[in-house]
Amino acid sequence: MKIVFAAKGHEYLIEALSELGEVIVFDSENDNDFGSEADVLIVASSPMVDLTLLEKFPSLKALVRVGSGFDNIDIDALKERNIKFIRVPEGNRDSVAEHTLLLITGLLRKINKAIVKGFEKPWDREGVVGNELKGKVVGIVGYGNVGWEVAQRLVSLGCIVNTWDPYRKFNPVPGVGNVPYEELLALSDIISFHIQDVNNGYLFDFDHLEKVKRGVLIVNTSRGNVVNTRALIQGLRSGVIGGLAIDVIEGEPNSQFIDELKTFDNVIATPHVAGHSYEAYEKMKELVVRKIKYTLSNLML
């Protein structure tokens, strides 16, 4: 089996993949012809997998997307070429869910200000009195693998949780409500985005600033293009948004918005690391290898 590895940032997988066959690291700037006999292509949030890229891999049988998102995958192009699509959203869902709670509690307890003051002498607690999580109304946008994990954690911590998802309507966690999107916006003290692929533009834009509670906290650990960053900045300036925590942003990793966001002391930003933990790495290894074996063995039947 020949495997082409193009999942930058997930190099921990290479050793495990080597047990399946020859692994070649893909370099889009100098790819030569090594993809011509590839059976499997491994990608992450990049590169863009479209017909142009797939033409480099005429023998491809399976595409693996490390993680849960698929906004860089042309699903129709895969179907047209009869290429099996493998995802592993369950691999890092616990990691992302825990990171989400970290961001939520960080906003509530004004952790940015507290950390700065913690390294000053004498200690000064002025301006760093925060709020408790218990009893807060949390709206979860996107109720897939991560949304479900976040919901069950928040319910156990005493939150009132509502969800909205255009693709899923079930509520397997007792105590979790399912409401229309505008109702979720109006009710929530905290709104957390966990939706991966929306083809209808931003889910949060300038007009949504008029539909949320003043002082609402916004958290995004899904995809940067789910929300309009300019709208978020306007909301922060006006006080409509009381705090923002992001692990993803439009235009990452060199987003034009970073310099502006870092001027706010109620903004927390992490560099798309929510799904990165040593435990998640181990789960990813096991899942990717197992799913490749299963998919290719079925193709041979």
Active site residue 272: yes
Nearest to 83 by CA among 110, 115, 118, 49: 49
- Selected catalytic residue, list 223, 230, 260, 290: 223
* Cα(280)–Cα(113) distance, integer angstroms: 30
For residue 194, indicate whether it is catalytic: no
How buried is residue 252: exposed, middle or buried, by Cβ count under 10 Å (0-12/13-18/19+)? Answer: middle
Partners of 193 in the beta sheet? 141, 220
> In 3D, which of 66, 104, 101, 102 has the Cα closest to residue 85?
66
Dihedral, CA of residue 170, residue 250, residue 192 and residue 10, to nearest 10: 70
Judge whether 208 counts as a catalytic residue.
Answer: no
Bridge partners (DSSP) of residue 217 are 190, 243
Considering 272, 276, 282, 286, which one is annotated as catalytic?
272
For 239: left if phi > 0, alpha if psi spans -120 to 50, otherwise beta; the answer is: left
Please name the residue that has the structure tokens 């370099």. Answer: 27
Catalytic residue among 252, 260, 282, 286: 252
Which active-site residues does the annotation give? 223, 252, 272
